[in-house]
Amino acid sequence: MAGMMLCEPTELYNILNQHRRFPRLSEPNYLILLDARTLHEYNESHIITARRIEQSPTGEYLVPDPEELACVRYCVVYDCMSSSLDFYDSEEEEKEKDAEEGTAARHASSLQQFSRHPVLVLRGGYKRFSACYHFLRTQKILWMPQELDNFQPYPVEILPGKLYMGNFKQACDQQIQKDLKIKAQVNISEQPAMLWAEEGKYLHISVPDSLEADLFSSFSTICHFIDTQLDLGAVLVFSSLGISRSSTVTMAYLMHSFQFSLKKAWNHVLKCKTNVRPHRGFVKQLSDWEAQIYGTTITDVSEPNY
């Protein structure tokens, strides 16, 4: 069996907002998001694209299509407010205990035998997720393929509620800035962005996405700017596509201000956004940055490692 794991709200947020040519939510084998709350709670509001776990006429919860579960990359189950993988052995026991906790874990336990990957249980359930990401709540039940193709993803979350990484289009979307409470932006693309708020702080480092481009000389300036602005609110780092330059700067910041090695920073950013790819020139500059911070090179960046 694939097993079960707890999933932090920020992890589900990033799963929902992965984007390649199209949003990954439009891929049929990408995500199954299951709501284990009551029908009334589900109809009142649920996380986007979530479907309610179906029940038989006798009230028993049914396992979704086993073949679909076997192919899907992420299967996430949530209830109202689960905070652990503990669950009651039966619905009767659960009702006797009058408990909200355990519903998601119990259903995840029954699904793990069909999945190739661990079934994820959302820590804090719908209550915590919706408190953090109210803009990802909906009453919509059916999603057409075209609607998923046109879904507008948000920047990925690097530090919960604090640091985000995205692309130029997201940086120019005022609703995204409002929803994420962005107070400052770091633009690493050549094109200047329209200032989205008079009181917002803005740093523009114009750098081409080329092997000869120099980001290293700006790392200190960028890290100092982000550190200063995080005391005031959330910061968005962005480049044209949000793949190479912005990820390079984000890794440099984590190394500088959180004492991450390059390997740890790389893995963290890659987990948040699965298609990041700093080119070789930027990888070399990150390695030099690591050596400057720690006095020695810690991470082997030779190919094919990076």
Residues 161, 140 share a domain: no
Mean pLDDT of 15-30: 95
CA-based angle 239:241:242, to the nearest 5? 60
Q: What pLDDT was estimated at residue 97?
A: 46
- Does 283 reside within a domain? yes
Mean pLDDT of 55-77: 82
Distance between CA 89 and CA 81 in Å, rounded?
18
pLDDT bin (cut points 50, 70, 90) of residue 240 is: very high
- Minimum mean pLDDT among 92-96, 141-145, 205-209, 295-299: which range? 92-96
Mean pLDDT of 51-67: 77
Question: What total number of domains does the chain contain?
Answer: 2
- Minimum mean pLDDT among 30-34, 84-88, 196-200: which range? 196-200
pLDDT digit string, tens, across residues 148-169: 999 999 999 999 999 999 999 9
- Does 306 reside within a domain? no
Distance between CA 110 and CA 31 in Å, rounded?
17
- Minimum mean pLDDT among 21-30, 64-73, 193-202: which range? 193-202
Residues 168, 35 share a domain: no
Distance between CA 136 and CA 210 in Å, rounded?
36
From 149, 183, 208, the end of a domain falls on 149
- Does 242 reside within a domain? yes
Residues 171, 141 share a domain: no
Distance between CA 195 and CA 19 in Å, rounded?
25
- For 162, counting Cβ atoms within 10 Å of its Cβ (0-12 exposed, 13-18 middle, 19+ buried), the class is middle
Residues 256, 228 share a domain: yes
Domain that holds residue 274: 156-294
From 98, 126, 149, the end of a domain falls on 149
Decide if pLDDT at 223 tops 80.
Answer: yes
CATH number for the domain spanning 84: value is 3.40.250.10
Decide if pLDDT at 101 tops 70.
Answer: no
- Does 303 reside within a domain? no
Q: What pLDDT was estimated at residue 65?
A: 82
277: tokens are 């790819």
Residues 206, 91 share a domain: no
